[in-house]
Each structure stands twice: as C-alpha cells, then as structure tokens.
Amino acid sequence: MEILLATQNEHKKDEILAMLPQNFRLKSFKDYNFQGDIEETGKTFSENAYIKAKFGYDLAHIPCFADDSGLVIEALNGDPGIYSARYAGTGSFDDNIAKVLENMKNISNRKAYFISVICWVNGDEVNYFEGRIHGSVSTEIKGTQGFGYDPIFIPDGSIYSFAEIKPEKKNQISHRAIALNKFMEFLKRK
C-alpha cells in the first residue's frame, strides 16, 4: 500500500519507517518536491495532525497520515506542548532542552508525558490514533541517541532517558509506537 507521511522531519520518518510493516511504501514530501512549511495553527495535537494530513492528502491524492507530538510537563502548565518543536524560538532542540531545564530549575514536580497523535486522511475519511508515555524530566542531559527531548525524558519504570535506550527498545514503548500500533490495527481492518 502506498501512503504519504506528511512530515519534513527525517528523524520522525526513520522512526516510523522502522515500525511499519514491509508491505507499505512510505512516501514523504520529498517525493513531491514540497519543501515549504505547513502552518500549524491548531490549538491541540489532533488539530495540528489533521492540518498536516489534510494538506498531504490534497497535495498527493493518496492516503496520508501525519503525526503531531510533543512533551507535556505538568509543572510548566503543559508546556512545551504543541510548541515542543519551536519552544525556544530557534528551531534547535538543544535550545529547547536548555529552555526546559532552565524553566524546571528548583522544581521538584518533574512529571511529564510524551504524546503522539496520528491523523489519517483518505478523502472524507478522517481517523485519529493517540499514544502517551508517562515519565519525568531529568535534571540534566542523559544519553546521545534519539532526537528532540529524548535526552531529558525518563519513562516511568526506567532509570534511563529515551536517549540512553536503544532505538529498537524505544520504538517498542514510545508514545509514537503506541499510536502507530493503533494505526496499524486500523489499517489491517481496511
């Protein structure tokens, strides 16, 4: 089955590709020479995932899905939330991490969760699949694997950050894996 993943984040594409069954041909915006930005004007992860998936469907006219995900920190009133990728305003995850760690200084409540919402658009059909993994924000950067906030997120039941866990293991337990597993079950019924 040929489907489009509406993202320009190659790390996200690689992570999703590693989880998809072999019988999928995953296309991306690169296959359609699209290099612009899609303005994410939604106020929720679901709304932003829909904006991207609908744009991709209208561009390629094949089934399209998009993921919107982020880190939600209880003590920061849900920040960085839907602004996770642009939290520091520079587009750099090193800067985003630095801002989170600065904002979390002297805060004992470190509870957080990663959320991923996948939106599937195929014509008039729209479906959503959500995954969450709860954990905490570390006080320092730990590990070098992964991307985004992985070096400061420690999933519940672990002493290691996502950036210290082998990618294969992370891809079994992550918020994106949970959402993607629900999405795969949906596709099997099609």
Comparing CA positions, the residue from 117, 99, 115, 109 lying closest to residue 137 is 109
pTM, two decimals, is 0.91
Check if 124 is active-site: no
Going by pLDDT thresholds of 50, 70 and 90, the confidence category of residue 79 is very high
Q: Check residues 38 and 137 and name the one with the higher pLDDT.
A: 137
CB atoms within 10 A of CB 179: 23
pLDDT (average), residues 124-146: 96
The pLDDT score that the predictor gives to residue 133 is: 98
Distances (CA, A) of 49 to 26, 34, 117, 170: 17, 18, 7, 22
Comparing CA positions, the residue from 173, 145, 185 lying closest to residue 11 is 145
**Total residue length of the chain:** 190
Tens of pLDDT, residues 31-72 = 888 888 899 999 999 999 999 999 999 999 999 999 999 999
**Helix 10-19 crosses helix 175-188 at what angle (to 10 degrees)?**
50
Which of the residues 14, 31, 37, 68 is marked catalytic? 68
b/e per residue 18-47 (b: at least 16 CB within 10 A): eebeeeeeebbbeeeebeeebebeeeebbe
Q: Is the pLDDT of residue 7 over 90?
A: no
Q: How far apart are CA 44 and CA 48, in angstroms?
A: 6
Q: Is the pLDDT of residue 96 over 90?
A: yes
Domains in the chain, CATH or no CATH each: 2-188 (3.90.950.10)
Tens of pLDDT, residues 164-189 = 999 889 988 999 999 999 998 898 77
Going by pLDDT thresholds of 50, 70 and 90, the confidence category of residue 117 is very high
pLDDT (average), residues 2-19: 81
Q: What is the 3-state secondary structure (H, E, C) of the chain?
A: CEEEECCCCHHHHHHHHHHCCCCCEEECHHHHCCCCCCCCCCCCHHHHHHHHHHHHHHHHCCCEEEEEEEEEEHHHCCCEHHHHHHCCCCCCHHHHHHHHHHHCCCCCCCEEEEEEEEEEEECCEEEEEEEEEEEEECCCCCCCCCCCCHHHEEECCCCCCHHHCCHHHHHHHCHHHHHHHHHHHHHHCC
The pLDDT score that the predictor gives to residue 166 is: 92
